[in-house]
């Protein structure tokens, strides 16, 4: 689409042909619908025409950049991107409301917690005492027992992972604000970004392993890793370095869809047995940028991610566990094939061990010997 057509569309906002044609030309991208876009009816469902969620994100970004608008949060819903007609109407509303804003604020610096000032220790980077570590050991052992009947093996993963694996998982593109890079000496060429990044999610370590070594049609593994996330604030529990214990299951779509419901209820009753009051909430991952708002909204409306929240400090309620149904995202990225040639699905159940420790201390106090006998027995303390 040429730039004059966009300018015409902006200056002739009348809900008529121009706006519709502008949207149609974005859909005519060879990577989206190609020639088929020309004959697509104004009210036809673009998903049924073969447009995927990721392509809708592409359309959203293209619409925002070409019309120099920022589509507001409350309009970023799957319904807004149902058909050419609906998109054209939405864009018309926004164009009327907004003067051109230039580029969306994707590149604004994060307000990162800083180590500047008088504080010596970095916010969100905590040590664990021997007594606290014994609680974490109790949690690990209890989780291992809870899933012993289905977990094939357990792994302890390092705090770094191949950059290529993180990229395949889609992390640097969706969460560049949370990713930690590893820089260092490079062979023969000074210093710079290495082939490693910091582990963002424990389960990322498992997908290449499942693809290359386990090669089972259906399976379940658990993993623990020290993870890093570039959190922007420094409240209790908002850790930049934390231990994550995950159970990952892969297999046929039906099996995985059912497993994530079962995993959610098993996790909830385990947390309640520890005496924590748990709130369950449909959640989304903190995707970056304007396209991220669409991904987050789609994830939430499809209820792919559930979080279990507990108090970790006075008035601070945070997710201590979550279950995430990835559908074919990792199967596609890492080649988890099914015997019939289709792509395997996966889901993971993640526990934030450090946050669980905070939640237990918030509930029972910081003196572990004074915790109720039942809880201490449960955690073998």
Tell me which residues touch Zn ion (CB under 5 A): 201, 203, 246, 348
CB of 326 to Zn ion, least distance (A): 8
In terms of CB distance, is 89 or 150 closer to Zn ion? 150
Biggest alpha carbon–alpha carbon distance for the chain: 74
In terms of CB distance, is 104 or 344 closer to Zn ion? 344
Helix (H, G, I), strand (E, B) or coil at 328: coil
| Token code pair at residue 129 | 């005492």
CB of 350 to Zn ion, least distance (A): 5
Give the whole-angstrom CA distance, residue 127 versus residue 226: 12
Element (H, E) at 352: strand 345-352
CB of 287 to Zn ion, least distance (A): 15
Give the whole-angstrom CA distance, residue 381 versus residue 377: 6
CB of 28 to Zn ion, least distance (A): 37
CB of 338 to Zn ion, least distance (A): 21
Q: Is 71 exposed, middle or buried (0-12, 13-18, 19+ CB in 10 A)?
A: buried
Helix (H, G, I), strand (E, B) or coil at 169: coil
Helix (H, G, I), strand (E, B) or coil at 317: strand
Rounding to the nearest 10 degrees, give the CA dihedral for residues 48, 53, 54, 57: 110
Which neighbouring-strand residues pair with 162? 196
| Token code pair at residue 127 | 């040590």
In terms of CB distance, is 67 or 334 closer to Zn ion? 334
Residues 46 and 280 sit within 8 Å (Cβ to Cβ): no
Please spell the DSSP secondary structure of 231-268, one letter per residue: -S--STT--SEEEEEEEEEEE-HHHHHHHHHHHHHHHH
Q: How many CB atoms lie within 10 A of CB 89?
A: 15
Residues 181 and 210 sit within 8 Å (Cβ to Cβ): no
Residue 73's contacts (CB-CB under 8 Å, 6 or more residues apart) are: 293
Residues 267 and 350 sit within 8 Å (Cβ to Cβ): no
Q: How far apart are the first and last CA of the chain?
A: 67
Helix (H, G, I), strand (E, B) or coil at 59: helix
Which neighbouring-strand residues pair with 222? 154, 247
In terms of CB distance, is 178 or 203 closer to Zn ion? 203
CB of 2 to Zn ion, least distance (A): 44
CB of 351 to Zn ion, least distance (A): 10
CB of 246 to Zn ion, least distance (A): 5
CB of 366 to Zn ion, least distance (A): 30
CB of 31 to Zn ion, least distance (A): 29
In terms of CB distance, is 33 or 247 closer to Zn ion? 247
């Amino acid at each position: 689409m040429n730039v004059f057509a966009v300018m015409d569309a902006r200056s002739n906002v009348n809900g008529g042909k121009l706006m519709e044609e502008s949207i149609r030309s974005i859909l005519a991208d060879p990577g989206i619908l190609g020639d088929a876009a020309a004959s697509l009816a104004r009210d036809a469902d673009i998903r049924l025409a073969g447009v995927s969620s990721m392509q809708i994100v592409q359309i959203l970004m293209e619409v925002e950049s070409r019309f120099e608008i920022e589509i507001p949060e409350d309009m970023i819903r799957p319904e807004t991107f149902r058909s050419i007609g609906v998109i054209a109407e939405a864009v018309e509303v926004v164009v009327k409301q907004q003067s051109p804003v230039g580029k969306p604020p994707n590149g604004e610096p994060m307000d990162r917690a800083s180590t500047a000032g008088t504080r010596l220790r970095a916010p969100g980077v905590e040590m664990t005492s021997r007594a606290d570590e014994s609680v974490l050991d109790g949690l690990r052992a209890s989780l291992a027992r809870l899933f012993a009947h289905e977990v094939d093996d357990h792994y302890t993963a390092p705090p770094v992972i191949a950059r290529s694996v993180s990229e395949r998982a889609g992390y640097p593109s969706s969460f560049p604000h949370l990713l930690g890079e590893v820089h260092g000496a490079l062979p023969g060429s000074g210093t710079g970004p290495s082939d490693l990044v910091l582990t963002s999610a424990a389960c990322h370590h498992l997908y290449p392993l499942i693809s290359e070594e386990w090669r089972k049609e259906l399976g379940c593994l658990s993993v623990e890793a020290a993870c890093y996330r570039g959190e922007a604030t420094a409240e209790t529990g908002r850790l930049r370095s934390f231990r994550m214990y995950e159970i990952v299951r892969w297999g046929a779509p039906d099996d995985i869809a059912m497993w994530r419901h079962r995993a959610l209820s098993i996790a909830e009753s385990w947390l309640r047995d520890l005496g924590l009051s748990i709130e369950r909430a449909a959640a989304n991952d903190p995707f970056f940028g304007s396209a991220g708002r669409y991904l987050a909204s789609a994830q939430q409306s499809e209820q792919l991610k559930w979080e279990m929240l507990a108090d970790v400090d006075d008035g601070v309620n945070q997710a201590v566990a979550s279950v995430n149904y990835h559908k074919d995202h990792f199967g596609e990225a890492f080649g988890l094939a099914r015997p019939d040639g289709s792509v395997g699905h996966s889901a993971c159940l993640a526990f934030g061990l450090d946050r669980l420790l905070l939640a237990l201390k918030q509930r029972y106090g910081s003196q572990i010997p004074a915790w109720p006998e039942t809880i201490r027995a449960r955690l073998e303390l």
